[in-house]
Amino acid sequence: MSEAIDTNVLGEKIVNVLKTIYDPEIPVDIYELGLIYDVFVNEDLDVKILMTLTTPNCPVAESLPMEVEEKVKSLDEVKTAAVEITFDPPWTQDLMSEEAKLELGML
């Protein structure tokens, strides 16, 4: 590779991919819902995503993290991708973006 990849630019691409993934029960993407706590990209282009679910008993607890991992891995620049689920802090509606709250009629 003759050109170094800017990890900040890659981070933005990852966020754009995350915005294409929707919670099946709520018509808002997982990024705007506040389910993504952090995206880490190291110099080797390994990606780690720290995310939560709306509840520990979420019906997509198995499939949603896999979908996130697969879609992020589909980016050419990404070498590996891993999703870590956490419930600390637990998800609340306060984590939703203004856009998501508006979409759901909460504003």
pLDDT tens digit string along 25-65? 888 999 999 999 999 999 899 999 999 999 888 888 889 99
Let me know if residue 102 belongs to a domain.
no
Let me know if residue 99 belongs to a domain.
no
| CATH classification of the domain holding 47 | 3.30.300.130
Q: What confidence score (pLDDT) does residue 75 get? A: 96
DSSP letters of 54-102? SSTT-TTTTHHHHHHHHHHHTSTT-SEEEEEE--SSPP-GGGS-HHHHH
Structure token pair of residue 55: 């509840």
CA–CA separation, 97 and 20 (whole Å): 15
- Domain carrying residue 87: 7-91
Let me know if residue 66 belongs to a domain.
yes
Let me know if residue 107 belongs to a domain.
no
Domain count, the chain: 1
Q: What confidence score (pLDDT) does residue 35 get? A: 97
pLDDT tens string 94-103: 999 999 999 8
| Cα dihedral value 103, 49, 11, 66, nearest 10 | -70
